A and B are shown apart, each in its own frame.
Chain A
């Protein structure tokens, strides 16, 4: 069971995600954004960073990277696809998740631990968690404020103390099927008590357990 961790020029959390997945026994490989064949992989993570410099708009250029057609195909086949932070922004720009991410309410970058609550346990990010479970996890973004004109979105995690103005305090959002999820805080940064929290492991374990052979 292998996970593709996609690297766009400007991505910077790829090694952290691979490290956290491997620490849980997962098999994860870095995949360059020009790759056009993900048939050897059973799931995909788009990690955090600044894909293509976030120029024009976060994720706006990354959605055109060659790999994205394959990411869409994998998702359509029902395999788990997770976007973390910048990866969440890319999935929204690609139309694979509802809504968009705009600048934080206070117009400042936020890097700190926040608390989130599990509000849906039928997604690839939260299937191992308990409904109502509280998770302490770092946020690290400027454009982390999720907005969505409709009311049909599935929200998997909500902030306890909405730090960035997200609609409905949403911290993680999924597609209707629950196999494509975007999460704004970083599960891989809460993967070790030495770093202040291991609460993020339940989310990464959920992802790994959602992998089924392609």
Chain B
């Protein structure tokens, strides 16, 4: 894509206006390394230049927020001196190019974001979306991504305890690979990404720097500074979980001993970001000597050293008196280290290479002076037509149910999650395959309840309503294990922001998430934006993914579980009665084959009492289950399959059986053991026998079970 004769800044992905800004800041022409630094730091990925104006809408404050958006991870108080650090990221594009390494390095990156805060990462969740598995390309991508998550996550020693899997044609040309990480720490262990006081030394820890992933954050491509373009083509980043494991342990030991003033991971934009952001946050400058950086390739240029995205590296800022101790900890854990610079007063970042100054610029300008775009918005013309689409004629509910259970996004996820170590650390009280996860903090009564939710079809039909419903659904899932919602992180996966329709979807989504968070009184503490998810000019469905952290204190003595239903128990539905709306439902997507209609709006005033009721029932009822993908019919079938018992469902009609209207869940209990408020709950069936009876048909439990369990394996057998 190199066009000879084109100015260098354009080849680096910068507009002429952005280049003018650089000239204004420097008051002269930039040196090559300087231009490279601005190009990566001002890229969409690093600067959020198209999204920042909208992200300000999020509610971000609450008394329990310690660190909000803008740092490496959000941090909230859990009480008794405990903090949780939470972060979500996407690795969509790398995973499409190289699914194993793309997914693996995504895991590595999110872990660094969390232990940078001083937290020990205790769990991971992956939200992965692909095109249908009847296409061998999608099977290859799906298999590779799962293997990459397993290969990295298992070896680095952090359990993957849940996530989401979805298959839809919109992701065929652009799979989504999001990953969320949760860490815990004591209050006194919190570390920030700051360079601290002048005099502090910059110590680069971890893997040697190579030419991998150069310009991953921009379209730098390579030969930007000469004509040897082929030779310098950036290679795909390669993950090394063993190096990361050692790096985690070494950093946690440094934090525990109080040896660092601040620390920053090297991710997108590599060294350029890891020196400028901490300096900018602390209002200081820095002298950096690139000749001190430990490298694994010779002859790297200054721009390459500054922009390399080699994995498993951290930049620690250390009081001069502690440098020796820091290097000794690195030596113990068998990781490489190098003192590469020193913090100085003033705010100027000076970078030397081969004895010459290669960059001298205001450190804060790389972050603070990044361009800010207010891109045009337009409500899509096609939306009214989509809302007016009538549902096709219904099909027999029993057949529809079987087809839903055979969907690989609804059927059992065991093929995926049994490849992940989800038990390490002995905290996983509720692991993959249910509504939400629950992790205990050993030695306390506290449980961390977590759910992640996304739904591209729903958000296509109404991004604001859809996004709000995701937040409420996640909160209800968290309540299923006794958790009260605390904070949200979001991963906003969208198409091309230069299209006004996409920006409109984006703005609507932010509005929806904000409204729901405000209704629940919880803040957004971090997030990630992934734009340009388009192939051949076709954008993906707007796919925000919401990760919600809740606190269960105390943890229910006996947790509700899908496998605790027994013959003779009653089935109750709690929440507002479904309106029969099917817009954006799994029934439309999987069975009817077309999305249409306008999704039901969330009811903020109902959401709160329903969530509170669920959290209290988590201490009493043997079975609680959120009604979401596939509606009531799928929810009941999942209970029957897990418990190995049949049931009779007294509800009729597609709308009632398959609607995914919000704020609803199922309670299964022995008669008379739990009292439910009459205005919110109604009895809808009974547990017993070896068949599931719905709408006049009786489906054999064996058929339900094999269909559900084989949904992914039968497809992956090819």
Q: Which residues of A contact B (CB under 8 A)?
A: 9-10, 12-13, 15-16, 19-20, 32, 49-50, 52-55, 108-112, 138, 140, 142, 186, 188-189, 191-192, 194-195
Distance in Å: Cβ of B604 to nearest Cβ of chain A: 35
Q: List 21 A-B contacts (CB under 8 A).
A: A9-B242, A9-B246, A9-B333, A9-B334, A12-B245, A13-B424, A50-B157, A50-B245, A53-B242, A108-B418, A108-B419, A109-B420, A109-B421, A111-B419, A111-B422, A112-B418, A138-B423, A140-B154, A140-B421, A142-B154, A195-B428
For chain B residues 394-424, which have a beta carbon within 8 Å of chain A? Answer: 414, 417-424
Check A50–B241 contact: CB distance below 8 A.
Answer: yes
Distance in Å: Cβ of B614 to nearest Cβ of chain A: 21
**Chain B residue, CB-CB nearest to A16:** B426
**Chain A residue, CB-CB nearest to B555:** A194
Residues of B within 8 A of A188 (CB): 426
Beyond known contacts A12-B424, A108-B418, A109-B154: 13 more, CB 8 A cutoff? A9-B334, A10-B155, A19-B442, A20-B426, A53-B155, A53-B241, A53-B242, A53-B245, A54-B155, A110-B418, A140-B421, A140-B423, A195-B426
Known: A10-B155, A12-B157, A112-B418. A52 touches B242 (CB 8 A): yes
Is B367 at the interface (CB under 8 A from chain A)? no
Check A55–B242 contact: CB distance below 8 A.
Answer: yes
Is B440 at the interface (CB under 8 A from chain A)? yes
Check B150–A109 contact: CB distance below 8 A.
Answer: yes
Check B246–A10 contact: CB distance below 8 A.
Answer: yes
Check B429–A194 contact: CB distance below 8 A.
Answer: yes
Is B425 at the interface (CB under 8 A from chain A)? yes
Residues of B within 8 A of A50 (CB): 154-155, 157, 241-242, 245
> What 6 A-B pairs are tightest by C-beta distance, nearest first?
A53-B242, A12-B157, A50-B155, A109-B419, A112-B418, A16-B426
For chain B residues 671-703, which have a beta carbon within 8 Å of chain A? Answer: none
Known: A10-B245, A10-B246. A16 touches B424 (CB 8 A): yes
**Chain B residue, CB-CB nearest to A108:** B419
Q: CA separation between A107 and B106, bound complex, in Å?
A: 23
Known: A50-B155, A52-B242. A15 touches B423 (CB 8 A): no
Q: CA separation between A108 and B143, bound complex, in Å?
A: 11
Q: CA separation between A186 and B421, bound complex, in Å?
A: 12
Check B157–A191 contact: CB distance below 8 A.
Answer: no
Residues of A within 8 A of B428 (CB): 195
Check B420–A111 contact: CB distance below 8 A.
Answer: yes
Residues of B within 8 A of A53 (CB): 155, 240-243, 245
What 1/0 mask marks residues of chain B from 146 to 161 whose CB sits below 8 Å from any chain A CB?
0000100011110000
Check B420–A194 contact: CB distance below 8 A.
Answer: no
Residues of A within 8 A of B333 (CB): 9
For chain B residues 147-192, which have a beta carbon within 8 Å of chain A? Answer: 150, 154-157
Q: CA separation between A98 and B428, bound complex, in Å?
A: 34
Q: CA separation between A191 and B241, bound complex, in Å?
A: 28
What 1/0 mask marks residues of chain B from 217 to 248 whose CB sits below 8 Å from any chain A CB?
00000000000000000000000111101100
Q: CA separation between A140 and B417, bound complex, in Å?
A: 12
Chain B interface, number of residues (Cβ within 8 angstroms): 29
Check A195–B155 contact: CB distance below 8 A.
Answer: no
Q: How many A-B residue pairs have CB under 8 A?
A: 78
Distance in Å: Cβ of B156 to nearest Cβ of chain A: 8
Known: A50-B155, A54-B155. A16 touches B429 (CB 8 A): no
**Chain B residue, CB-CB nearest to A54:** B155
Check A16–B425 contact: CB distance below 8 A.
Answer: yes
**Chain B residue, CB-CB nearest to A139:** B418
Q: CA separation between A209 and B240, bound complex, in Å?
A: 40
For chain B residues 559-588, which have a beta carbon within 8 Å of chain A? Answer: none
Distance in Å: Cβ of B562 to nearest Cβ of chain A: 14
Residues of A within 8 A of B150 (CB): 109
**Chain A residue, CB-CB nearest to B443:** A19
Known: A9-B242, A12-B245, A112-B418. A195 touches B423 (CB 8 A): yes
Check B245–A111 contact: CB distance below 8 A.
Answer: no
Check B423–A10 contact: CB distance below 8 A.
Answer: no
User: Which listed residue, B243, B418, B440, touches A111 by the CB 8 Å rule?
Assistant: B418
Interface centre among B241, B245, B417 (most CB of A within 10 A): B245
Residues of A within 8 A of B243 (CB): 53
Q: CA separation between A12 and B159, bound complex, in Å?
A: 11
Distance in Å: Cβ of B301 to nearest Cβ of chain A: 31
**Chain A residue, CB-CB nearest to B414:** A112
Distance in Å: Cβ of B448 to nearest Cβ of chain A: 14
**Chain B residue, CB-CB nearest to A15:** B425
Distance in Å: Cβ of B21 to nearest Cβ of chain A: 45
What 1/0 mask marks residues of chain B from 442 to 469 whose CB sits below 8 Å from any chain A CB?
1000000000000000000000000000
Q: CA separation between A195 and B425, bound complex, in Å?
A: 11
**Chain B residue, CB-CB nearest to A11:** B157
**Chain A residue, CB-CB nearest to B419:** A109
Q: CA separation between A12 and B249, bound complex, in Å?
A: 10
**Chain B residue, CB-CB nearest to A19:** B426
Check B423–A111 contact: CB distance below 8 A.
Answer: yes
Distance in Å: Cβ of A112 to nearest Cβ of chain B: 5
Distance in Å: Cβ of B3 to nearest Cβ of chain A: 43
**Chain A residue, CB-CB nearest to B120:** A15
Interface centre among A32, A110, A188, A195 (most CB of B within 10 A): A195
Residues of A within 8 A of B154 (CB): 50, 109, 111, 140, 142
Distance in Å: Cβ of A35 to nearest Cβ of chain B: 12
Residues of A within 8 A of B241 (CB): 50, 53
Distance in Å: Cβ of A32 to nearest Cβ of chain B: 8
**Chain B residue, CB-CB nearest to A189:** B423
Check B157–A49 contact: CB distance below 8 A.
Answer: yes
**Chain A residue, CB-CB nearest to B151:** A109
**Chain B residue, CB-CB nearest to A32:** B332
Q: CA separation between A192 and B154, bound complex, in Å?
A: 22
Q: CA separation between A96 and B84, bound complex, in Å?
A: 43
Q: CA separation between A16 and B425, bound complex, in Å?
A: 6
Residues of B within 8 A of A140 (CB): 154, 421, 423-424
Residues of A within 8 A of B442 (CB): 19
Distance in Å: Cβ of A30 to nearest Cβ of chain B: 11
Q: CA separation between A200 and B423, bound complex, in Å?
A: 14
Q: CA separation between A169 and B246, bound complex, in Å?
A: 34
Q: CA separation between A138 and B426, bound complex, in Å?
A: 11
Check A189–B426 contact: CB distance below 8 A.
Answer: yes
Q: CA separation between A13 and B157, bound complex, in Å?
A: 8
